Structure 1
């Protein structure tokens, strides 16, 4: 963690502690203790207790250090720099309500109206909307009634079962993919934000400050690109866990966080966009050593897993160059004799870009003699 060397506050080696106690006893009494001596057995029991105490002392001491602290201990360290753990959040989406016919009076869509998916996941309108006279539709924000990731990933049209009927309303359906649901922030993400927290103390608009505040919008954000395309303008591009692109609701949440008067310098114009996608294809042929013919089927499965890992690796960080050498390395480590990569070719990405795989064509070229 943070490229720091591992440390121990106490010596926890059981053999060293036991040897030290017995040696000290023998030196003080002038008596040599045999292996079955009751005194020796007693001292060995005492040594075991001391080992456990030292383990607890070492653990307690390490909970005061950012690299080792966990759970509630980490929460207490975060408070020192004003960084609190992000609570579980609910997925959000936008739902369009449509009337059966234009009405002669305004139709109100009250907050609290529920719309569900076919699997029973319920979303609730969080802000009342109104359909003007003569019009048919209104778009309103909605939030999953349960926190966590279960509300994520419902594509437009999948949330359409109106739980609470409203007069004149013919249909209700989501028009954006539901995103933003997350479990309570885990220790690793929280630890990273605590380390970045001092960047937020500046009101001069440094890159680190915008990165820190953007990540506070959702624990699903694993990387943030901050740059200025022109004087006075700051573009922020968040990337989600697993290389997923943020939806409109999450982008709006990041903008709200980073555009706050307590975060944004007065002269900055903050713009929040999804990362720019750079697509690439994989076209490769690999060969297995004939001496490994008996395990060739297992190697082929390992190669497929290695390619999938490469695809995941490539999209898990903004600005990561498209690097076929990494693909070759992972496939070779899977047990192949050699691999010929026709695509992708090496390409340099900007800090706000992310590489996403398109088609993957992986061919087994057969066995070759070494």
Structure 2
């Protein structure tokens, strides 16, 4: 399952040339050299000299100005813009940030809207160019489905038989099985004839959630704080499970081992999962429990 939108991985782009690598000591040494070239009487400057202190202030101020120039350049790049700057880039292509959870102004205290995070919003902005086509590309259906509701975490698109487009929807809430309202919103977004080819019939369904657990006993090197290592391993396992909670993401043993092998861990004794868990395009893994316990200290 491939599409043109998968060709651009923003995280793999080389650093932009316009963004300078800044170093305070380099700026200061250049200023000292410039001063000496203008007036050789300053060739014996020491750090306690008032003139040197002035150069230190000037170098630091120049560093801040050049840093601001770097940030200004990055603010107009999709790969680097964040927050309100990213909202401005989205507005340029007609893509607004989604509301994930509506706020309640009548609550005590009032709650604000929980908005789509920068990572997901950035992906939808990138996908928006695929949304211009009505040729029925995977990217087009993906963009329109992701934009249908703030509850949509991920979307899988395939065509198992000619003329029928299968769209699997993963929810942000619970195990990932979407409520009917979310499915209806996606169906409404991908059905209009301005979105799909006339010969396509979209079939929207809930993702198939595959449950698994992570259970392991950790052996330690001598002299480490076992509870701190257990906490770090548990947090890392939670992050791995959250990262893999997408459609078509296999749960692999090497991924679980990498998550659990924190500094201080000598050996990971993994009992679950017992093998790789292959995940299909319309499936998503969901970790129901993480049980990490202390083993022995190995000399």
Q: Which TM-score applies when normalising by structure 1?
A: 0.65
Structure number with greater CO (CA < 8 Å, separation at least 6) is 2
CA–CA separation in structure 2 for the residues paired with 1:85 and 1:320 = 25
Shift of 1:303: 4.8
Name stretches of at least 5 consecutive residues in structure 1 with no aligned partner: 92-119, 122-144, 149-182
Structure having the higher Rg: 1
CA–CA separation in structure 1 for the residues paired with 2:206 and 2:256 = 26
| Contact residue 213 and residue 272 of structure 2 kept, 8 A | no
Does residue 1:277 correspond to 2:209, yes or no? yes
Does residue 1:320 correspond to 2:245, yes or no? no
Does residue 1:227 correspond to 2:236, yes or no? no
Does residue 1:236 correspond to 2:170, yes or no? no
Question: Using a 3 Å threshold, how does the CA distance of structure 1 residues 71 and 278 change in structure 2: closer, same or farther?
Answer: closer
- Higher strand proportion: 1
**Structure 2 counterpart of 1:268:** 200
- Higher helix proportion: 2
**Structure 1 counterpart of 2:82:** 70
State the secondary structure of the residue aligned to 2:284: strand
| Contact residue 232 and residue 269 of structure 1 kept, 8 A | yes
**Structure 2 counterpart of 1:124:** none
**Structure 1 counterpart of 2:26:** 16
Task: Tell me the number of residue pairs that the alignment of Structure 1 and Structure 2 aligns.
Answer: 281
Shift of 1:222: 2.9
Runs of 4+ in 1 over 6 A off after TM superposition: 359-363
State the secondary structure of the residue aligned to 2:194: coil
State the secondary structure of the residue aligned to 2:32: helix
State the secondary structure of the residue aligned to 2:89: helix
CA–CA separation in structure 1 for the residues paired with 2:35 and 2:78 = 40
Q: Which TM-score applies when normalising by structure 2?
A: 0.79
Q: Match for 1:356 among 282, 286, 289?
A: 286
| Contact residue 293 and residue 367 of structure 1 kept, 8 A | no
Name stretches of at least 5 consecutive residues in structure 2 with no aligned partner: 1-9
Matches for 1:338-349 after TM superposition, within 5 Å: 338-341=268-271, 343-349=273-279
CA–CA separation in structure 2 for the residues paired with 1:70 and 1:312 = 22
CA–CA separation in structure 1 for the residues paired with 2:111 and 2:227 = 44
Shift of 1:359: 6.5
Does residue 1:329 correspond to 2:258, yes or no? yes
